[in-house]
């Protein structure tokens, strides 16, 4: 009897784990480690949350020891001007694509280093463990991509 209960508990745990993994594979929500596409250096942790089908991302922690903890977005030209980068919303208005559940689009991303806002496209890769984040002006071909790693 104990063996049967033990097997049932293991089976339930496996089902729950696979359900969680499947949910991760189709949601950009979570904590992501950002990596500079030019230097390969870890920069920050960004938490992406979903509310009402809209995804936003905020800088939660700096990983780069060279980043001043009290850094502000001095070059921003919108409502984020002179706001602390820590806690700043850098991803706005992203929505999951109806055609491809791994793609998120329709929003924008802020580069707090230069204050520029770019049209954004995000795509889950490697079964949701990585997120390709592309910022561009005009067409996606004219932009750059960073690959972020899921932390949680």
For residues 130 and 104, is the Cβ–Cβ distance under 8 A?
Answer: no
For residues 71 and 85, is the Cβ–Cβ distance under 8 A?
Answer: yes
Mind listing the domains of the chain with CATH numbers?
2-150 (2.40.128.520)
- Average pLDDT across the chain, whole number: 87
Model confidence over 14-25: pLDDT tens digits?
A: 333 333 444 447
Residue 97 has pLDDT above 80, yes or no: yes
Q: What is the pTM of this model?
A: 0.83
DSSP annotation string for 98-130: SS-TTEEEEEEEEETTTTEEEEEEEEEETTTTE
Q: How far apart are CA 54 and CA 73, in angstroms?
A: 24
| Secondary structure element (H or E) that encloses residue 47, with its range | strand 42-51
């Amino acid at each position: 009897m104990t063996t049967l209960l033990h097997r049932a508990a293991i089976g339930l745990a496996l089902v729950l784990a696979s359900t969680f993994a499947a949910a991760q594979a189709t949601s950009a929500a979570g904590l992501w480690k950002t990596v500079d596409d030019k230097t390969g250096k870890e920069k920050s942790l960004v938490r992406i949350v979903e509310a009402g089908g809209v995804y936003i991302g905020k800088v939660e922690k700096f990983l780069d020891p060279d980043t001043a903890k009290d850094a502000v977005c001095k070059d921003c030209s919108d409502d984020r001007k002179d706001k602390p980068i820590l806690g700043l919303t850098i991803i706005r208005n992203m929505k999951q694509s109806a055609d491809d559940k791994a793609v998120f689009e329709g929003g924008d991303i802020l580069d707090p280093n230069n204050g520029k806002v770019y049209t954004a496209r995000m795509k889950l890769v490697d079964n949701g463990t990585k997120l390709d984040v592309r910022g561009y002006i005009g067409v996606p071909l004219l932009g750059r991509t960073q690959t972020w790693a899921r932390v949680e």
